[in-house]
Amino acid sequence: MPATYWTQPRNGYLSGIVKTGRQPYDLAVTAVLLRCQMLLPDVFAIASDGAWDEEWLYGATGPMPGGLGARTVVAELFGNVPTTSPFDHKRALLR
């Protein structure tokens, strides 16, 4: 189970952090987070210590034949995905 950290609501917002440690479920977690941000961009912000053009494209293990990242999974399931990073570190971490 990933380590999860929650902070108290600030200005009506709740902030949470999930660390996957590059475990096999990293792909599921990142794909769900990306899809949530795509559906609710005004209320759902994401940030990552993984690079948008690397881990979020190829997955935690990097480019390899058949390797999937969150961007690929979301595109295959829903037909579209942002081409530029949707990361919003300031809003996601409520700094």
10-residue stretch averages of pLDDT, the chain, 95 residues long: 55 74 86 94 88 88 75 92 89 67
- The reply to whether 26 falls in a domain is yes
Assign residue 2 a region: left if phi > 0, alpha if psi is -120 to 50, beta otherwise?
beta
User: Is there a contact between 19 and 2 (Cβ–Cβ < 8 Å)?
Assistant: yes
- The reply to whether 29 falls in a domain is yes
- The reply to whether 85 falls in a domain is yes
- The reply to whether 62 falls in a domain is yes
Please give the pLDDT value at position 1: 46
- The reply to whether 16 falls in a domain is no
Count of domains forming the chain: 1
Give the SS3 label for residue 26.
helix
- The reply to whether 2 falls in a domain is no
- The reply to whether 87 falls in a domain is yes
Please give the pLDDT value at position 8: 57
Q: Which residues span the domain enclosing 68?
A: 22-93
